[in-house]
Amino acid sequence: MRVLIVSDIHSNLVALEAVLREAAGSYDAVWNLGDTIGYGPRPNECMAVIHSLPTTSIAGNHDLACIGSNTVNIAEFNNDARIANIWNGRQLKSNYKQFLNQLPLARSIDERVYIVHGSPKDPVWEYLLRPHQADDNWQAIPHQVCFVGHSHVQIYIRRNIDGSISGPIMPTPGEVMLLDNDERYFINPGSVGQPRDGDPRAAYAILDTSAQHITFGRVAYDIASTQQQMLEHNLPLMLIRRLQFGR
């Protein structure tokens, strides 16, 4: 099976559509690691696309904030994020609110693969970016491969056969990483809708369960179109500007 793995779409329909065009024919299922909405200008449209695909989803912190979930406190977000999340929540159709509200914060796909937005130890808030964090979180789950989102940074961290840790490593676009049965991995596909690793292109990954490898993808999209949509809805200027820099 081939799985398209996406995260942090953040209501950026133009970026999501670019990823789906780029990956067309290369996947049989989709795993969505959360934060489908928030920040961007097209929450309902992004939710509709996700619903149209064979998708397994989990919730992210912005999803929960937008729908007013008691799991997160919207006051913990910075002012720009808070404004955008409140706006997203007001636009969102009730059926999509209900869908997001019933999503788990993490899922065990099978005995080998686990998906979570933040980290196994803190699914909502932890940015898993450092070797010591990876070491702590490997102790929290038995799975060999864990896909995470939240940081908007396309990276992987690997526990080698000898127990040493490599990473975080930023893959090159198109890089194919073989999965060794004797190693463990935390893999972040990066953000579709708001990359923060210095590359403004939409990020994603494809897992081939038969070939036992991950392909890391990046695709350019019409950033100006998303920015114009955000301007039309008076979303915060900082959120609009950052898209073109990938920061």
Residue 151's alpha-carbon distances to 10, 27, 51, 182, 231, in angstroms, are 13, 24, 24, 27, 25
- Predicted local confidence at residue 222, as pLDDT: 98
CA distance 87 to 40: 9
CA distance 231 to 237: 8
Residue 5's alpha-carbon distances to 76, 95, 190, 191, 240, in angstroms, are 28, 24, 9, 10, 25
| Tens digits of residue pLDDT in 153-168 | 999 999 999 999 999 9
- Predicted local confidence at residue 6, as pLDDT: 98
Give the β-pairing of 2-6 and 202-208.
Answer: antiparallel
Domains of the chain: 2-242 (3.60.21.10)
- Predicted local confidence at residue 175, as pLDDT: 95
- Predicted local confidence at residue 176, as pLDDT: 97
The structure's pTM equals: 0.97
Residue 112's alpha-carbon distances to 81, 137, 145, in angstroms, are 35, 15, 6
Range 20-29 burial, b when 16+ CB lie within 10 A, else e: bebbeeebeb
**H or E element that contains 245:** none
- Predicted local confidence at residue 113, as pLDDT: 98
Mean pLDDT, range 208-229, rounded to an integer: 98
Residue 15: is it exposed, middle or buried by C-beta count within 10 angstroms (0-12/13-18/19+)? buried
In the chain, DSSP assigns E strands to 2-6, 29-32, 55-57, 106-108, 113-116, 145-148, 155-159, 165-169, 176-178, 184-188, 202-208, 213-219
| Tens digits of residue pLDDT in 88-124 | 999 999 999 999 999 999 999 999 999 999 999 999 9
Residue 54's alpha-carbon distances to 12, 32, 51, in angstroms, are 19, 10, 8
CA distance 70 to 14: 30
> Binning pLDDT at 50, 70 and 90, where does residue 30 land?
very high
Mean pLDDT for all residues in the chain: 97
Q: Which two tokens stand for residue 234?
A: 């008076």
Q: Which residues pair with 176 in a beta bridge?
A: 215
| Tens digits of residue pLDDT in 131-161 | 999 999 999 999 999 999 999 999 999 999 9
Residue tagged 């939710």 (tokens): 47
